[in-house]
C-alpha cells in the first residue's frame, strides 16, 4: 500500500526505483535489496484494488466532512460535485474495458477512430474550501458522468450545499438531495423553463418548475411541480446567466452572497488541476496497464492527494489562513523530499518531529490573497506538435473489444 501511494508521488521514477527509494524490499541473504519490476507487478496483483479503495473511502469521508464542517457558509457545509477524465496506457485490456472518446468522421465520411489513449471517467465530491475529496466513483468512459454521480449523492451529509455544473440539472437529483436539509446551486440551461411566483428582489425570483412528461414516466414517485429560486447573475465581460437553487429563503440566504458563492464551484476544477497537472505532471497516461491495476493506482493517487491536502489544512489552521492560500506545489515537493529522506535516515520515533519540521517549512509558502477581478482569456501559447494525431483505427478497436 505504501508502494501504491508512493507511485502517486514519485511520478518520474521507475516502479522498481520507487520500491528502493521507500525502502520497501526485504534484503536477500547477502544483504542486497535488488528488486525486479516483475516482482513489483506480482505484489500489486496480490494486493488488488480493494484494500486501497477501503482505505480511501474511510479516510476521505472522515477528513473531508470534518473539513467542510469547520468552514460552513450560513450553517451549511460546502461541497462541489464534478467530473473529469484520466488517460490510461493504451493496452488491449484498458482499451476494451475503459474505451475512449470517438473522434467522429471527416468530411469524406471516413471514421477517424477513437482517442489516442483509453479514458477513465471520474466523478468526485470535494469539500470546496480545503479541496479534500470526500467521495469518488469512476469507470468506463462511455458511461455518462451523471450515472457515476448517482453513487455519490448518498455520501453528502445533512445540512450542506452542493455546487454543481448545469449538466446535473435534473429533478430526480434535486429530489434526492432535498432529504436531510441538503441543498444545491447550479446554473440554468438555456432550455430550462419555469413560471414566476414571486419577485424576491432585484434579479431574484421564486419560480415554479414543472416536471416534464418524460421525467414523470421515468420517475413516477417525483412531485409534478417544485419551487426553486432563480437568481440573475452577470460577471463583467461575460453574458448574463441564471443560477437556480433550492435555497428559497431570500432573507436567510441573500442573493448577493449566493452570486459570490457560485465562484467557489471552480475550486473543484482547481483540485483536478492539482491532481492532473502537479501530481501526474501532465504525463500522457498513468502507469497501469490493466483495469484492476488502474483502479488500484487511482485510489492510491486520491489517497496521496488527500494526505497532502490534509497536511496543508493543518498548516493553514496553525497559520491562520485559508487552506487554498497554501501553495500546493510547494507542499507536494516538500512532502516528497521529507518522505524520501525519512525512509533512509529516520527512525519511527522521530517521525512526529519531522512532521512538525515539515509544517514549519511549508508555512513560509503562503500565497497572497486571490484577485478575482483579474481576467485572462484562454490562449494557446505553444503548439505542441506539428505531426498529425495518430488514433487507433476503428477496425483494431473492434478487434480488441471482441
pLDDT tens digit string along 291-337?
A: 999 999 999 999 999 999 998 998 898 888 999 999 999 889 888 88
Comparing 82 with 221, which gets the higher pLDDT? 82
pLDDT tens digit string along 269-297?
A: 999 999 999 999 888 899 999 999 999 99
Sequence-separated (6 or more) residues with CB below 8 Å from residue 90? 116, 117, 118, 285, 392
Report the pLDDT value the prediction gives residue 302, as an integer from 0 to 100.
98
Residue 106: pLDDT above 70? Answer: no
Report the pLDDT value the prediction gives residue 344, as an integer from 0 to 100.
58
Residue 186: pLDDT above 80? Answer: yes
30 — pLDDT class (breaks 50, 70, 90): low
Share of the chain above pLDDT 70, in %: 87
Report the pLDDT value the prediction gives residue 355, as an integer from 0 to 100.
67
Residue 208: pLDDT above 60? Answer: yes
Report the pLDDT value the prediction gives residue 65, as an integer from 0 to 100.
97
Residue 43: pLDDT above 50? Answer: yes
pLDDT tens digit string along 252-271?
A: 999 999 999 999 999 999 99
Residue 347: pLDDT above 70? Answer: no
Give the mean model confidence (pLDDT) for residues 167-190: 87
Report the pLDDT value the prediction gives residue 51, as an integer from 0 to 100.
97
Report the pLDDT value the prediction gives residue 399, as an integer from 0 to 100.
44
Report the pLDDT value the prediction gives residue 351, as an integer from 0 to 100.
61
Residue 18: pLDDT above 50? Answer: yes
Residue 183: pLDDT above 70? Answer: yes
Q: How much is the mean pLDDT over the chain? A: 87
pLDDT tens digit string along 109-154?
A: 777 677 889 999 999 999 999 999 999 999 999 999 999 999 999 9
Amino acid at each position: 500500500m505504501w508502494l501504491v501511494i508512493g507511485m502517486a508521488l514519485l511520478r518520474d521514477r521507475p516502479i522498481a526505483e520507487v520500491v528502493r527509494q521507500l525502502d520497501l524490499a526485504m534484503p536477500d541473504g547477502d544483504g542486497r535489496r535488488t528488486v525486479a519490476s516483475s516482482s513489483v507487478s506480482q505484489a500489486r496483483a496480490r494486493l488488488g484494488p480493494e484494500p486501497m479503495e477501503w482505505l480511501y473511502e474511510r479516510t476521505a469521508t472522515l477528513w473531508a466532512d470534518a473539513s467542510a464542517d469547520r468552514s460552513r457558509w450560513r450553517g451549511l457545509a460546502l461541497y462541489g460535485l464534478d467530473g473529469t477524465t484520466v488517460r490510461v496506457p493504451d493496452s488491449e485490456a484498458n482499451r476494451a474495458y475503459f474505451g475512449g472518446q470517438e473522434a467522429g468522421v471527416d468530411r469524406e465520411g471516413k471514421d477517424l477512430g477513437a482517442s489516442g489513449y483509453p479514458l477513465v471517467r471520474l466523478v468526485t465530491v470535494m469539500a470546496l474550501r480545503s479541496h479534500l475529496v470526500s467521495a469518488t466513483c469512476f469507470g468506463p468512459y462511455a458511461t455518462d458522468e451523471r450515472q457515476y454521480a448517482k453513487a455519490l449523492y448518498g455520501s453528502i451529509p445533512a445540512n450542506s450545499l452542493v455546487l454543481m455544473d448545469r449538466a446535473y440539472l435534473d429533478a430526480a437529483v434535486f429530489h434526492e438531495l432535498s432529504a436531510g436539509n441538503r441543498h444545491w446551486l447550479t446554473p440554468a440551461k438555456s432550455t430550462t423553463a419555469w413560471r414566476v411566483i414571486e419577485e424576491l428582489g432585484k434579479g431574484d425570483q421564486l419560480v415554479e418548475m414543472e416536471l416534464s412528461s418524460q421525467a414523470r414516466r421515468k420517475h413516477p414517485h417525483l412531485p409534478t411541480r417544485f419551487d426553486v429560486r432563480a437568481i440573475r447573475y452577470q460577471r463583467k465581460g461575460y453574458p448574463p446567466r441564471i443560477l437556480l437553487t433550492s435555497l428559497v429563503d431570500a432573507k436567510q440566504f441573500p442573493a448577493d452572497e449566493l452570486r459570490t458563492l457560485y465562484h467557489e464551484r471552480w475550486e473543484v476544477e482547481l483540485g483536478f488541476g492539482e491532481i492532473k497537472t502537479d501530481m501526474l505532471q501532465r504525463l500522457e497516461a498513468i502507469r497501469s496497464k490493466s483495469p484492476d491495476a488502474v483502479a488500484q493506482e487511482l485510489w492510491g493517487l486520491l489517497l496521496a492527494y488527500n494526505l497532502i491536502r490534509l497536511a496543508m489544512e493543518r498548516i493553514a489552521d496553525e497559520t491562520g489562513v485559508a487552506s487554498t492560500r497554501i501553495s500546493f506545489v510547494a507542499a507536494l515537493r516538500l512532502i516528497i523530499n521529507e518522505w524520501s529522506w525519512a525512509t533512509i535516515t529516520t527512525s519511527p520515533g522521530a517521525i512526529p518531529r519531522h512532521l512538525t519540521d515539515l509544517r514549519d517549512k511549508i508555512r513560509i509558502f503562503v500565497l497572497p490573497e486571490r484577485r478575482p477581478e483579474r481576467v485572462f482569456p484562454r490562449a494557446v501559447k505553444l503548439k505542441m506538435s506539428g505531426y498529425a494525431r495518430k488514433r487507433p483505427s476503428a477496425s483494431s478497436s473492434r478487434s480488441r473489444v471482441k
